[in-house]
Amino acid sequence: MMDRREFISNCLKGACALGLGHILIKESDLFAALDSAGTLVKGNGFGDESSFVHEAMHFTRLGDGLVRCGLCPHGCLVSDGARGKCRVRENRGGTYYTRVFSRVCAMHVDPIEKKPLFHYKPASKSFSIATPGCNFSCSFCQNWQISQSNPESIDCQYVSPDEAVRKAVESGAQSIAYTYSEPTIFYEYMLETARKGNEKGVKSVAITNGFMCEQAQDQLLDQLDAVKIDFKAFSEDFYREVCGGTLEGVKKSIQRIAKKKKWLELVVLIIPTLNDSREEITAMAEWIASEAGYDVPVHFSRFHPQYKLKNLPVTPVATLERCVDICRDKGLRYVYIGNAPGHPAENTYCPGCKEMVIKRYGFYVLSNTVKDGKCPHCGHGIAGIFS
């Protein structure tokens, strides 16, 4: 079955082949119009795959068949038969539905360090799952094949919340990670799976862009043990032009998570010329220290050209080291370098005596001497969840 993009693309190509004259609307412009959000999204008539359809949470009926999504700050206004910007939530007769409940497109057992979460149960395994879709459109996305596609375009399998928890238990994982794509858009599935997991003693962690509204996030945080947020940049222009979101929406999420004292780690993918200036990193470090705290681990990750952003070079390690130095100068206690296996900044050092307490190589822990959350050398507390 073709999705709507394939159908429209084939129609346009067919019209050209038949000599029906010039196409006045570019294919890319048409798709952009179909995917627009924050304004009225026109209905297009989608197929029904009932096994994955589930009534959505956090939306408002506005009458005349319209709904307003309240899940993320895009606040999509969606007409009957249309979808929001995430492409997975659909208005049917004035009721909003998710089309990705239990619709799993990726499932794997990963080291928790791959998320990366360095201060959350080091060396443990995390049962990782995802559905298609995202509420961002990052031009550098490494998983764009699933995040930027319609759900019916991706090979998926039905994995209920109970089944996901059962698989996690059987795998020996200590947590379930909602990851690979953007878990905000499969909110209902994540929330129910986290609840079921907590009943079985399996915790949940969200690997997210942090672009979620307050009410939905508060409800979810009650079921989560930890959150990793991809902090894309410290620039509204970057978020708007490169990611299709807003910095302010993400900052509010970070503040809420810190206020609730949920374990939080931040990852910043450093992209040469776009978000790597000394001024921007300094402002980001100051804000993190002030609003999230000095103990929040910050990971500066190395960029590799991919998806729509192939014209820029790999991030120099020296740039990442400069970012680390800036953050440490601002008092942040746990600052790391990612995507550079073997670098000393992969390791955890005691803020008190500066001795290494966790040694890593890539996604793997080589040694961990933290005992009862403390440095074995000086007894200084090491922030995190280590039990």
Per-residue model confidence as pLDDT tens digits over 180-204:
999 999 999 999 999 999 999 999 9
pLDDT of residue 387: 79
pLDDT of residue 49: 76
d(CA 179, CA 175) in angstroms, rounded, equals 12
pLDDT of residue 22: 26
d(CA 174, CA 361) in angstroms, rounded, equals 21
For every residue of 301-353, DSSP letters joined together read EE---BTTB-SSPPPPHHHHHHHHHHHHHTT-S-EEEES-TT-GGGSEE-TTT
Cβ within 8 Å of residue 218, ≥6 positions away: 256, 260
Mean pLDDT of the chain: 89
Does 253 or 29 have the greater pLDDT score? 253
Q: Which strand (E) or helix (H) includes residue 256?
A: helix 247-259
Does 36 or 208 have the greater pLDDT score? 208
Strands 356-361 and 364-368: antiparallel
Q: Which residues pair with 269 in a beta bridge?
A: 301
Residue 13 pLDDT more than 60?
A: no
Q: Name the band, by pLDDT with cuts 50, 70 and 90, for residue 328.
A: very high
Cβ within 8 Å of residue 108, ≥6 positions away: 128
Residue 18 pLDDT more than 80?
A: no
